């Protein structure tokens, strides 16, 4: 019997995502000037206020207030009526030195033996139901909000949009787990005030269905066949959504971990990513397991794969590595045998993850909205500035964990 599956996304202007983006901007700035920085930075945003807290071990000093304001400005909170505005919001920093007890568990005389920054388990997932090996419902949810943000910035076809928004896509799957059609789409978007609420609701629904949806179909033609005349649309279902952003809801770093990963598919170990340097395996090992899962699926080992890894704090070698193929394996091996081969191909000690994926670079701001996984690897040039005005220009690779650079090695190992 056919079944339904749903995933959601949130925009860059959602309060939790503002917090993630500020935390990751701080990470990037610390790493740009001191690649060995150890950082765990949390952000809280609320009406007219930003609070920064966390632990740092670094040889650089940053103007954290200016960095936070620049992030808020770039997102689009630039008007006083939003009750949260880049130039006027208060910013309190309570960032302090990292605990020496934690640091002694990570730093080693030999870099290769660098210990994990925390205990815990991390998961990576991949499926061949999309070109980027991501779950389709989440990919569509992200696509809707990315295009909505583009419309907001263009400010031509739709002129009343504000930065805060959420989306949700429900797909119908066949018995053999193939997506058939979109069953429902939910979009809640913050907007300017209208004189008449009924006219406002009708206008927003009409614009999103007649302008946003065709643009998404045109930009993502591989998904166009899933759209149909029987989709149930819930557009701003509560009605008015003028009060939004941090004025409508407090935002915290790390509260959108399912949006950041696989939209409810696969599994999640519970650890957030944003605000953490790569010595924290919550982040680096989650990227590494995604890299493994994607390369395994792309190589033809299975149609769908979940990779789990776990660590003890201060210990380099993982306590476990496990691969699950959900019965979709294309090789004559058990999941346990596949796990052993994976362990031989990918060194999952933290230092080697950092080196393989080039994680000690300022590459994290781009991850903090619209998902950490399923993105396109690219090389970019970024400019950072110290408080004295001195600039630093760096060229970095983004989303290295999305590269299919181990496919040939996987095929050779598995005899594919």
16 is in an annotated binding site: yes
Q: Are residues 279 and 403 both part of a single domain?
A: yes
- Residue 285 near residue 122 (C-beta atoms within 8 A): yes
286 is in an annotated binding site: no
Q: Are residues 233 and 277 both part of a single domain?
A: no
Q: Are residues 410 and 284 both part of a single domain?
A: yes
- Residue 95 near residue 53 (C-beta atoms within 8 A): yes
Q: Is the alpha carbon torsion for 8, 10, 15, 18 positive or negative?
A: positive
164 is in an annotated binding site: yes
- pLDDT value at position 1? 75
Residue 105 clears pLDDT 70, i.e. is over it: no
Q: CA-CA distance, 69 to 53, in Å (whole number)? A: 16
pLDDT-derived band at 261, boundaries 50, 70, 90:
very high
Query: Hey, is 405 helix, strand or coil?
Result: coil
- pLDDT value at position 107? 60
- pLDDT value at position 389? 81
Q: Which two tokens stand for residue 311?
A: 């660590």
Query: Partners of 44 in the beta sheet?
Result: 51, 252
Show the CA angle centred on residue 164, arms to residues 158 and 165, nearest 5°.
75
Q: Are residues 124 and 151 both part of a single domain?
A: no
Q: Are residues 296 and 397 both part of a single domain?
A: yes
Residue 17 in any domain: the answer is: no
Q: What mean pLDDT is predicted for residues 329-342?
A: 97
State percent of the chain over pLDDT 70.
97
Q: What mean pLDDT is predicted for residues 214-237?
A: 96
Lowest mean pLDDT among 71-80, 96-105, 194-203, 339-348: 96-105
We report the CATH number of the domain holding residue 176 as 3.30.300.10
Residue 347 in any domain: the answer is: yes
20 is in an annotated binding site: no
Burial class (CB in 10 A: 0-12, 13-18, 19+), 193: exposed
Residue 410 in any domain: the answer is: yes
42 is in an annotated binding site: yes
Give the global pTM. 0.96
Q: What mean pLDDT is predicted for residues 12-40?
A: 97
111 is in an annotated binding site: no
Domain boundary (184, 212, 244) is at: 244
Q: Are residues 297 and 387 both part of a single domain?
A: yes
The strand ranges marked E within 47-196 are 49-57, 90-97, 120-127, 161-173, 179-191
Per the prediction, the chain carries an average pLDDT of: 95
Q: Are residues 278 and 401 both part of a single domain?
A: yes
382 is in an annotated binding site: no
Q: CA-CA distance, 149 to 369, in Å (whole number)? A: 11
Q: What mean pLDDT is predicted for residues 323-327?
A: 97
Residue 200 in any domain: the answer is: yes
Residue 71 in any domain: the answer is: no
Domain boundary (192, 212, 244) is at: 244
Q: Are residues 397 and 351 both part of a single domain?
A: yes
Residue 109 clears pLDDT 70, i.e. is over it: no
Between 238 and 99, where is the model more confident? 238
Residue 259 in any domain: the answer is: no
- Residue 347 near residue 369 (C-beta atoms within 8 A): no
Q: Are residues 227 and 305 both part of a single domain?
A: no
Q: For the chain, how big is the Rg over CA atoms in Å?
A: 22
35 is in an annotated binding site: no
Residue 61 in any domain: the answer is: no
Q: CA-CA distance, 37 to 60, in Å (whole number)? A: 8
pLDDT-derived band at 88, boundaries 50, 70, 90:
very high
Backbone angles phi, psi at 203, to 5 degrees: -65, -45
Number of domains in the chain: 2
Residue 106 clears pLDDT 70, i.e. is over it: no
Q: Are residues 237 and 326 both part of a single domain?
A: no
Query: Partners of 184 in the beta sheet?
Result: 170, 232
Model pLDDT for residues 137-190, shown as the tens digit of each residue:
999 999 999 999 999 999 999 999 999 999 999 999 999 999 999 999 999 999
Q: CA-CA distance, 408 to 56, in Å (whole number)? A: 39
Residue 206 clears pLDDT 80, i.e. is over it: yes
- pLDDT value at position 280? 95
- Residue 305 near residue 325 (C-beta atoms within 8 A): yes
114 is in an annotated binding site: no
240 is in an annotated binding site: yes
Q: Which two tokens stand for residue 94?
A: 């309570």
- pLDDT value at position 241? 95
Q: What mean pLDDT is predicted for residues 345-361?
A: 97
341 is in an annotated binding site: no
Q: CA-CA distance, 151 to 155, in Å (whole number)? A: 6
Domain boundary (210, 244, 278) is at: 244
74 is in an annotated binding site: no
241 is in an annotated binding site: yes
Q: Are residues 272 and 410 both part of a single domain?
A: yes
Q: Are residues 230 and 304 both part of a single domain?
A: no
Domain that holds residue 172: 3-9+136-244
pLDDT-derived band at 80, boundaries 50, 70, 90:
very high
Q: What mean pLDDT is predicted for residues 352-359?
A: 98
73 is in an annotated binding site: no
CA-to-CA dists, residue 175 to 3, 4, 9, 222, angstroms: 8, 11, 26, 22
Residue 303 in any domain: the answer is: yes
pLDDT-derived band at 402, boundaries 50, 70, 90:
very high
Say which residue the tokens 């619209």 belong to: 370
Q: What mean pLDDT is predicted for residues 104-129?
A: 80
């Amino acid at each position: 019997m056919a079944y339904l599956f749903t995933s959601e996304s949130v925009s860059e202007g959602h309060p939790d995502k503002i917090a993630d983006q500020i935390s990751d901007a701080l990470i990037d700035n610390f790493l740009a000037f001191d690649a060995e920085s150890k950082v765990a930075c949390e952000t809280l945003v609320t009406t007219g206020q930003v609070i920064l807290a966390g632990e740092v071990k670094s040889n650089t000093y940053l103007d954290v207030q200016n960095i936070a304001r620049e992030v808020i400005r770039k997102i689009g909170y630039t008007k006083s009526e939003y009750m949260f505005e880049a130039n006027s919001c208060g910013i309190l920093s309570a960032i302090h030195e990292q605990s020496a007890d934690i640091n002694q568990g990570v730093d080693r005389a030999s870099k290769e033996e660098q210990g994990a920054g925390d205990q815990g388990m991390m998961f990576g997932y991949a499926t061949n139901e999309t070109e980027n090996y991501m779950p389709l419902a989440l990919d569509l949810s992200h696509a809707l909000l990315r295009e909505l943000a583009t419309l907001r910035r263009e400010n031509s076809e739709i002129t009343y949009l504000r930065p805060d928004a959420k989306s949700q896509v429900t797909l119908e799957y066949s018995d053999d787990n193939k997506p058939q059609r979109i069953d429902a789409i939910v979009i809640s978007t913050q907007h300017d005030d209208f004189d008449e609420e009924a006219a406002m609701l009708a206008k927003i629904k009409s614009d999103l269905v007649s302008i946003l949806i065709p643009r998404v179909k045109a930009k993502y033609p591989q998904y166009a066949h899933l759209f149909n005349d029987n989709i149930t649309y819930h557009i701003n279902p509560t009605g008015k959504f003028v009060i939004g952003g941090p004025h409508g809801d407090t935002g915290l770093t790390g509260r959108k971990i399912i949006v950041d990963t696989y939209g409810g598919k696969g599994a999640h170990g519970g650890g957030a990513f944003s605000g953490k340097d790569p010595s924290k395996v919550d982040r680096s090992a989650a990227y590494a397991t995604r890299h493994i899962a994607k390369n395994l699926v792309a190589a033809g080992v299975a149609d769908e794969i979940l990779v789990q890894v776990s660590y003890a704090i201060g210990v380099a070698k993982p306590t476990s590595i496990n691969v699950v193929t959900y019965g979709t394996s294309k090789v004559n091996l058990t999941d346990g045998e596949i796990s052993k081969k994976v362990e031989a191909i990918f060194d999952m000690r933290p230092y080697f993850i950092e080196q393989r994926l080039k994680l000690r670079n300022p590459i994290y701001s781009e991850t903090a909205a619209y998902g950490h996984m399923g993105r396109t690897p690219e090389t970019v040039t970024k400019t950072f500035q110290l408080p004295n005005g001195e600039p630093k220009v760096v060229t970095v690779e983004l989303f290295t964990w999305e590269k299919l650079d181990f496919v040939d090695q996987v095929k050779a190992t598995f005899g594919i």
